[in-house]
Amino acid sequence: MKRLGVLTSGGDAPGMNAAIRAVVRKCIYHDVEIYGIKNGYQGLIEGNIEKMDVGSVGDIIQRGGTMLYSARCEEFKTEAGQLKGIEQLKKFGIEGLIVIGGDGSFQGAQKLTEKGYPCIGVPGTIDNDIPGTDFTIGFDTALNTIIEAIDKIRDTATSHERTYIIEVMGRNAGDLALWAGLADGAESILIPEKQDDFNEVITRLKRGHERGKKHSIIILAEGVGSGFEYGDRIHEATNLETRVTVLGHIQRGGSPTANDRVLASRLGAKAVDLLLEGKAGRMVGIQKNKLVDHDIIEMLALSHSIDEDMYQLSKELSI
Ligand code: F6P
């Protein structure tokens, strides 16, 4: 292959820029031309495509967001949209495409793969919900953003002896909530993968309060439901002074952590290697700190699961 393309799609994630940089530099290192597609699949359909060079990706490794911009594109979910995309790729002479994104973006890559167009998926989402990789690009940064925010909330929670419900992102996955809860010693962690026992949450809160605990932190994954509704239920059941914080899109921004930059660099470069080896229809990932690749269609058929040992540990440590 002599000319490749790269796009970012879906919700942005810190570290996407580091992945783009790795793709571009790795291509140039191998004397392969690389084209950036702006605004995800929307830009692909519209032919918003530009050649990139070494300088295009200078000074971006430390930046959050994505310099190629991103979009959620309804039209690309249709066959007509997918065919328009392939037509544009052919028009620009692009022989293989690297898609950096989450679940929805991988579905787009899967469609292109099924139509015989060579594609590689690079997992970039704060949700950490893609099977076949232990970590996705952006998860570590979002997690650290959450921890920083909870540490601050803890200060005011203690001063006012309040119970806080903190709603975090993750779509249908509970990884951000679970890891944040464990890292911050939350009283309870509520995730969509597990049915919570409301009575147990209440017992735990009351026990802490009776022991003289000055504050309580409950982390609720957005996939479970509304933090505000949960806060009302907690207040009604305990009469404790309760506040709710929805962290929202702050979790998606900011400079990527060193871990995310390294992960993104490794995964982006690996995606180029695969296409140059003649492989396609794959996703790259990291498992036990080793780079791996899997059939993208097979992986999308699997569902994401949480680490059961970590969940159990979080229960044991928050007695
Ligand atoms: O997939 C990343 C994510 O931030 C989810 O955690 C969240 O549910 C969703 O995107 C929010 O999407 P949007 O930015 O389109 O509101």
Q: What does the pLDDT average to over 295-312?
A: 95
Residues 88 and 230 in one domain: no
Adjacent-strand bridge partners of 282: 120, 295
Residues 227 and 269 in one domain: no
- How many Å lie between the centroid of ligand 1 and the Cα of residue 188? 23
pLDDT, residue 318, reads 87
Q: Please say whether the beta carbons of 186 and 132 come within 8 A.
A: no
pLDDT digits (tens, 9 = 90+) for 132-179: 999 999 999 999 999 999 999 999 999 999 999 999 999 999 999 999
pLDDT, residue 319, reads 78
Residues 115 and 247 in one domain: no
- Sign of the dihedral defined by the CA atoms of residues 223, 226, 229, 231, in that order: positive
* CATH number of the domain encompassing residue 16: 3.40.50.450
* pTM exceeding 0.85: yes
**CB-based contacts of 89: which residues, under 8 Å, 6+ apart?**
5, 44, 97, 117
Query: Does 166 fall in a domain?
Result: yes
197 is catalytic: no
Domain that holds residue 105: 3-138+256-300
Query: Does 242 fall in a domain?
Result: yes
Number of domains observed in the structure of the chain: 2
d(CA 38, CA 186): 40
Q: Which of 47, 3, 44, 46 is nearest to 23 (CA)?
A: 3
Query: Does 103 fall in a domain?
Result: yes
Q: From the alpha carbon of 251, which atom of ligand 1 is closest?
A: 4
Query: Does 312 fall in a domain?
Result: no
Question: Half-sphere exposure of 34 toward its Cβ, with a 13 Å CA cutoff?
Answer: 29
Residues 108 and 20 in one domain: yes
Residues 129 and 261 in one domain: yes
Query: Does 305 fall in a domain?
Result: no
Ligand 1 lined by 270 (C-beta under 6 Å): no
Residues 236 and 260 in one domain: no
Residues 145 and 87 in one domain: no
